Structures are given as structure tokens and as C-alpha cells.
A and B are shown apart, each in its own frame.
Chain A
């Protein structure tokens, strides 16, 4: 039997999702546990101020640009924040996504209007393209970037693009585009824990560790 769109879609919604979710859970857990199990030496120097609360504070503070840094790279900040914020809005506040997450999590929440989501998608894609151009053209960004950075850009861009096209019934038949959209998300899920995209979980530990290290010296970061 040849693979038609609906079969592909059914696979994506069924076995494909099952595998992707399993690999995602496995990989994320593996990353977190191996990170934690490596341990940290107890710091013998007496702390000047509470380190744990400083660590937690830094976890949240670093969502905002560092003081004085925004004006040094406004485009990078705006595009970077827009992309992340947009991605989360689309992921968590689009009706079909909430329905999908409900299956996994068992609960749901109110959605944003579709018009808001569509607009957000366009803005988010523009932000991502801006970031890509910036990465290619800016000397610092180009110097520190490698193939991996461009690869994860593509992996992150595909779900936005296919989702947008599917929503608008553009380019390919809807069923096929929807299948491709779900598959692109599954690819993202599979690769998240095993690429630099793993920062989605690692940064919380990094921020906490550096925040508590800096915080114990009486510096708020």
C-alpha cells in the first residue's frame, strides 16, 4: 500500500508521536539526571548571602536582558525575545495545540484567538529569519557559529512554517501539510534533548548554579 497523506497523518498522530514523546522524555530525563548526578563539591568558603534564593532569582532575572546590554545589541534582543515568546505563545495557546497537550497532560487552559496566533506566527518567523541573517552577517555571530547552529535553526523553523502553511491551507493539501507539521514537531521533540536545543532545560540549571555562585558572594545577578 502506498503511503498517502492520511496514513502519514495517522502515523504521525499515533506511533510517530509515541516514539517522539518517548525519546523526548528519555532524552530530557537523561540530560537532567546525568547533569545532576555529576554533583558539585561543597563550597567551604562561608557565603556572604543566601545562595539558593540568589540562584532562583537568577533563573528568573535572566529572562530579561542584562542591564546596559540591550542597547548594545537591540536587534538581537528583540528578535531573540520575540522568537522565544512567540514560540511559546503558539505552542501553548493555539486551540489544536492545547487539545494535543491535554491528551498528554490531562488538563487544558483557555486559548488565544486564531488571528492572534497567525499574526504571532508571522512575527515569530520574521524574528527567526532576522536571527539567521544576523548570525550569517555579524562577525562575532558568524565566528562562533557552526553547522550545528544552522541545523537547529532549520529544525526549529520547520514547525512554524508547516504549521502556518497548514493553517492557511497553502502550498500542499491540508492533510499532507498537517502530517508534515506534526512530523516536524516530532523531529523537534526527538532532537531537543540531544542537540544545543537542550538549552531549553539546561539553562535553568546553569542560571541556578551561576546565580547561586555569584549570589553567595553578595552579588545579585
Chain B
């Protein structure tokens, strides 16, 4: 039996030196919040990591997540890791189509029963099964079928993790997250619209290294990437503390790089690694580019009252509510006053007239 193809083999094949590999391992350790003493263990684990079978299902999605993970300007280790996996089924990336594609999925499921990793992007419509189908199979059914023998599920992007855009009010397809349907499998949520590439590969790296799923927060997100809020790590934080805020996108404050809180930045309540891992190979992230964080890695970020409204602002329109309350208050007052007045009149009618008899 020939030696199985390992990650190290793959990287060497791509011209990555051992020094480069160890550098990657140390970056991974840092990212995974592991002590440096574990770097050799990571290296050893990754070196001999076997090529896992990955089935990637795309439901109600925009392909942004796939774009994110594949669109690197130069080959990076994380993209190479992505290349290393045996991506047995992926709409956008696979050559096969139609029945051939479905057959590949079924074959992979069969060959790697209880061992393959299921990656899902996009939300699942639960309204009408016909809203979204692949090869005649509706999304929900395909998810249930494919999840059944998966080792773990990675929900990628905010649609798969929390419903995302399709789930946004009024949610015409009754879209739900993977975790709303699959209850009996470990699910790692990697939200973001899209998620940061290194976060996606980092999760895979963790799985490859330890064979386990990472520590998750209460929203099912790996704590190592989603443990801090954008605000916590934001380089503009000192301006927030000082109360220096940009009022518009082109005022002096904006030019001076002041805090974008008033322009709707959701950084304080958004947990993601943008401020540290950054985008485009560590070039920048939205706030650095002068755009407030829209909170894309949080549930229901589309419905949180407008991207440009401050976090402290109510998300509802006040006018109608106020008018209704005023009308109700006026009506109730008139009614109550009638009761009060009649109580008073009744008391006056029953008035006990004091006379000298009361002075005995």
C-alpha cells in the first residue's frame, strides 16, 4: 500500500519550504490561541494530516463565501490548505454538473461515511420546498441526507449560521440556519458576510490538527476567532474613549480617523477577527477603510435598525407608536376622569354636613 498523501507532501509539491511551513504553524498556533510550546505538535499533526473528504453544499447563498476563500491575490498557506482537502462536491468549483455531480457527492458520502466534513453555505428555505432545489432535491432534504453521516458540519457565512440575508425581515422563504435543522451533529459556525478566509482555513486546520472541533461560544462560533469584539480590538478605540466621533463620512473627524460609532458602527457588539486578522492578506478591514462595522457576523444583522444608525438608537420608527400611545392615553384619561369626577360628585352628594351636634 502506498503511503497516503499528506498535507506536507502537498505543501512540498507546491514549493513550500519546511521553514515556511513552521512559520505557518506558529501563525496557526497564535490564531488558535495556543502556547508556542505546541507548535511542534501542530507541525507534526499537520505534516501527517490526511486528506479529508469535504462536501460543500450551497443553498440560498450568493457565492460570496466561496469567493472569499478562493480569491487570494497570491497563493497563501491558507489557500493551500484549502487546496489540500479533497473537495468532493462544490457547485461552483467542481467541473462535473447535473447527475454526475450528484453521483460524486453520493460516492464521497459512501466512501467516507462518518468521516467527511460537511461545509454548508447559504440558508435553508423551509417555506416551499421548491424555493431552492438542486438536481430536484430540495435544500432541506439534501442537508438532512448529507448531514446524516458527516463527522462534523461547518456552517460557513452568516446565511448558514444564522439565516443571514434570506432570513431578513420579511423572510419570504422562511429561511433558517443549519443549526435550526440539524440537531444531532457538531456544528461549527463560521459567520461573516463573508467570513475571513483565514478563519475558515483556521477552523479546518484545527480540525486537521486535533481531530476535534474547537471551543465554541454560545452562538456556536470558535472562540479563538470570535472571542473579542471588533470594538475591543479596534485601533480607533481611543477616540471612542475620548468621545471623539466622526459625524459624517466626509467631515474632519472622519478624515482624522475618529470613532465611527455615530455613523452606525456595530463594532462593540460584533464578534469577529476583522480588527486583528484583517482582510486582503492583512491589508485592512472596513473600519480602517472608513466604513462602520455592519455587524455581519452577528445574527439578524440585516434587521438591526440600519447600518448607519448608532448602536444606541432604537431600531423602530417612533412616529406611529407615539401617536397610538398618545391616542390611547387621551382616551383612557377621559374615561378615567369621568370615573374620578363621578366619585367626587357621589362623595359630595353623600356629604356629611357638620353641625354643632358633631361638637359634643
Contact = CB atoms under 8 A, between A and B. Distances in A.
Given A6-B300, A13-B305, A175-B269, A114 B316 contact: no
B103 interface: no
Interface in A1-47: 1-2, 4-7, 9-10, 13-15, 17-18, 21-30, 33-34, 37-38
A134 to B, nearest CB: 33
Interface of A: 1-2, 4-7, 9-10, 13-15, 17-18, 21-30, 33-34, 37-38, 95-97, 99-100, 102-104, 111-115, 117, 169, 174-175, 178, 182
B337 A33 contact: yes
B219 interface: yes
Contacts of A115: 241-243
A114 B243 contact: yes
A10 B303 contact: yes
Q: Which of A7, A15, A96 has the largest count of B CB atoms less than 10 A from its CB?
A: A96
B354 interface: no
Contacts of B180: 1
Nearest to A18: B316
A133 to B, nearest CB: 32
Nearest to A116: B243
Would you list the 3 A-B pairs with minimal beta carbon distance, nearest first? Answer: A29-B329, A96-B312, A33-B333
Contacts of A13: 304-305, 311, 313-316
16 contacts: A4-B299, A6-B219, A6-B298, A13-B316, A14-B314, A17-B314, A21-B314, A26-B329, A33-B330, A33-B333, A33-B337, A34-B337, A96-B312, A104-B318, A113-B242, A114-B243
B268 A174 contact: yes
B269 A15 contact: no
B326 interface: yes
Interface string B150-184: 00000000000000000000000000000010000
B334 interface: yes
B321 A18 contact: yes
Contacts of B47: none
A100 B315 CA distance: 10
B336 interface: yes
Given A23-B325, A100-B314, 6 more contacts: A13-B311, A14-B305, A26-B329, A26-B332, A29-B333, A34-B340
Contacts of B326: 25-26, 29
B119 to A, nearest CB: 22
Nearest to B333: A33
A22 B341 CA distance: 26
B242 to A, nearest CB: 7
B225 interface: no
Contacts of A29: 325-326, 329-330, 333
A22 B262 CA distance: 25
A114 B240 CA distance: 8
Contacts of B261: 95-96, 99
Contact of B334 (A17, A37, A103, A182): A37
A32 to B, nearest CB: 8
Contacts of A27: 329
Interface in B244-269: 245, 261-262, 268-269
B310 interface: yes
Interface string B260-291: 01100000110100000000000000000000
A1 B162 CA distance: 10
B324 A22 contact: yes
B102 interface: no
B130 to A, nearest CB: 25
A104 B314 contact: yes
B329 A174 contact: no
Nearest to A167: B241
A63 to B, nearest CB: 27
